[in-house]
Amino acid sequence: MERGRSNIPPTNYSSIDDTISILVVDDDITCLAIVAAILKKLKYEVVTVKHPNDALCTLRINGGAFDLVISDVHMPDMNGFELQRAITQEFNLPVVLMSADDKEEVALKGLESGAAFFIMKPITPDDLKDLWQFAAMKRKEKANAFEERQKYIDSDESVNEDDDGKRKSPKKERCEDKNGGNSQSYSQKRPKIVWTNSLHNRFLEAIRSIGLERAVPKKILEVMNVPGLTRENVASHLQVLVFLSSDNHI
């Protein structure tokens, strides 16, 4: 058969500062249209599909030559998590999940399972305008939330750009991989712990599995099982968490 694909230009959907291409997946055509419209207005190249299988097919056609995939969580046949797993397995692409479910657990599950980001509906342009970041960081996408904790302990200046002082948006953290010539990584003096999102998620998950009332630093530390993390680290973080919880801080 000839390659009868009609409207999929052979242009490489690369992340050259020209155009970032995004594949949007949502069975709700209304939401699909809204997201697509917003993205297009933000100068992203947008391809929309309304079925998870279509998403996989589209990706396979061009070898995953997208910069990012945005998918709804609730879909027939395959939910967002499953799709995210499939895409992660087959391609090296950041997957952003979106859902109307504002339960924190859903968001946590998404991030823990490897999603790059989680957006809650209704989607606003503000939620989408910074998506290029994920496309940019995909270049060296490889980090289990488990291993990276052992490695982020390495910058002496503690100027980790996990959230680079941004707002409330959850983000996936990155850590410098191989030594790029800056091999000052022999840190005997431990830098400050950076409570990245996945680390925090792990922290929360540990508390939840223990039970809020019985969660004490030592127990939390055990459940978290993070090398290098101390009981004091957990205690300090717990103190903040309790403080924020007791007060009216969203």
Partner DNA sequence: ATTTGAATAT
Partner DNA sequence: GATATTCAAA
Which residues form the interface with DNA (CB under 7 A)?
A: 190, 192-195, 216-219, 231-233, 235-240, 242
Beta bridge partners of 119: 98
Beta bridge partners of 25: 49, 71
Distance CA 221, CA 231 (A): 6
Taking the complex as a whole, how short is the minimal distance between the CB of residue 26 and DNA, in angstroms?
Answer: 33
Taking the complex as a whole, how short is the minimal distance between the CB of residue 127 and DNA, in angstroms?
Answer: 21
Pick between residue 108 and residue 207 the one whose CB is nearest to DNA: 207
Taking the complex as a whole, how short is the minimal distance between the CB of residue 107 and DNA, in angstroms?
Answer: 19
Taking the complex as a whole, how short is the minimal distance between the CB of residue 22 and DNA, in angstroms?
Answer: 30
Say which residues have a Cβ less than 8 Å from residue 39's Cβ, sequence separation at least 6: 22, 24, 46, 128, 131
Distance CA 156, CA 55 (A): 42
Start-end of H helices in 78-184: 80-90, 104-112, 125-128, 132-137, 148-151
Taking the complex as a whole, how short is the minimal distance between the CB of residue 219 and DNA, in angstroms?
Answer: 6
**What contacts 24+ positions apart, CB below 8 Å, involve 134-141?**
134/68, 134/94, 134/96, 134/172, 135/15, 135/20, 135/67, 135/68, 135/94, 136/15, 137/94, 137/172, 137/174, 138/15, 138/67, 138/68, 138/92, 138/93, 138/94, 140/177, 141/92, 141/93, 141/94
Pick between residue 11 and residue 225 the one whose CB is nearest to DNA: 225
Pick between residue 24 and residue 226 the one whose CB is nearest to DNA: 226
Pick between residue 168 and residue 178 the one whose CB is nearest to DNA: 168
Pick between residue 100 and residue 235 the one whose CB is nearest to DNA: 235
Pick between residue 144 and residue 246 the one whose CB is nearest to DNA: 246
Taking the complex as a whole, how short is the minimal distance between the CB of residue 115 and DNA, in angstroms?
Answer: 21
